[in-house]
Amino acid sequence: MSSPEVSRSGKPAVVAHRGASGEVAEHTLGAYELALEQGADGLECDIRLTADHQLVCIHDRTIERVSDGVGAVSEMTLAQLREHDFGSWHSGTPAQVLTLDELLTLTLDWHRPVRLFIETKHPVRYGSLVETQLLEKLHEYGVATPPSADHSRAVVISFSSAGVWRIRRSTPMLPTILLGDSARIIGGTAATAVGATGVGPSVQTLRTHPELVDRAAASGRVTYCWTVDDQEDVQLCADLGVRWVATNYPARVRDWLVTAY
C-alpha cells in the first residue's frame, strides 16, 4: 500500500462525512464505497473501542440510532455488534458494523490517493486507550509516520485537545485537527498548545467568524469545516480558502465546486 501525495488545488477538497451518508446509512461500507465512486477527496469516520478493544466506526456512544439493536458500544464485543443490522434503518439495505481495519483497507487500496480523517471520541470509557490503539493500527498499515503532512494518507481529528496532544506527542509528522464549535476554542491558544496542524470549525461557527481561516493560515494551519451541505456554505468555504469541507453529500458538493471554478 503506497502513500503518494494527495493532490492539492485552489478549491476546497471534499471529505465524505461518515461516507456518502446523505444517501446511504452512515459508517457503512456502502456509504464509503459510494463516496469514493463519487470522487470524494477524503473520507471521515468516528471510531470507538468495543469491549474486546476493537476499533469500530460508530459516532454515538450507543447503537440505538444506527442499528436494530440497543446497548453501549464499549460494553459489546465486535461479535455482538456483528449480530445487528446497521444499514436498513436508512436505505433499507442491511449492513454490518464497519471496523477501522476494513475502512483503512478500502481507502488505501483505492485506485487513487484518498485521505482518511479519523475522529477519536471523548469522553469515553477507555480514555487514552483509543489513541493508543489507533496509533498501533496506523503503524500496522504503514501510515503513522508520513514524511510530511502533505504526504499523509491519514489525519487524526478530535474535539479533545488531550486526544490531539497524545497523537502529536507520539507521531509528530501525522497531521491533526482540533475540532470545535466555538471560535474561542479553536481560534485561541488551544490549537497552538497541542500542536494541531489544522483547526475544524463548524460551518455555523465559520459563518459568524470567517476570520478564523486567515488566523489559522497565519499560524501555518489548514482549516477543515463541517458539515457543509448547502451551496451557499460551500461557496463561503471556497471564498474564504477553507482547505477541506466535510459533507454528507460529496457528489453534489463536488458538482457545485466544479461550477464555481
Domains in the chain: boundaries: 13-47+100-259
Q: Do 89 and 71 touch, CB atoms closer than 8 A?
A: no
13-47+100-259: CATH topology is TIM Barrel (3.20.20)
Residue 118 DSSP one-character state:
E
Q: How confident is the model at residue 84, as a pLDDT?
A: 98
Q: Tens place of pLDDT for every residue, the chain, 261 residues?
A: 434 454 444 699 999 999 999 999 999 999 999 999 999 999 999 999 999 999 999 999 999 999 999 999 999 999 999 999 999 999 899 999 999 999 999 999 999 999 999 999 999 999 999 999 999 999 999 999 999 988 999 999 999 999 999 999 999 999 999 999 888 778 778 899 999 999 999 999 999 999 999 999 999 999 999 999 999 999 999 999 999 999 999 999 999 999 887
Q: How confident is the model at residue 187, as a pLDDT?
A: 79
Q: Do 43 and 35 touch, CB atoms closer than 8 A?
A: yes
Which grid coordinates belong to 63? 447503537
User: Can you tell me which residue has the cell 476554542?
Assistant: 185
Which residues does the annotation mark as catalytic?
Answer: 17, 59
Q: How confident is the model at residue 257, as a pLDDT?
A: 95
* Helix ranges restricted to H, the chain: 29-37, 78-81, 88-91, 100-109, 129-140, 161-170, 183-186, 190-194, 203-208, 211-218, 231-240, 250-260
Q: How many residues does the chain have?
A: 261
| pTM (two decimals) | 0.95
Q: How confident is the model at residue 3, as a pLDDT?
A: 43
Burial category of 195 from C-beta neighbours within 10 Å (exposed 0-12, middle 13-18, buried 19 and up): middle
Q: How confident is the model at residue 10, as a pLDDT?
A: 67
| Exposure string over 213-245, b if 16+ CB within 10 A, otherwise e | bebbeeeebbbbbbbbbeeebbebbbebebbbb
Residue 207 DSSP one-character state:
H
Q: Do 132 and 26 touch, CB atoms closer than 8 A?
A: no
- CA 29, CA 50: separation in Å to the nearest integer? 19
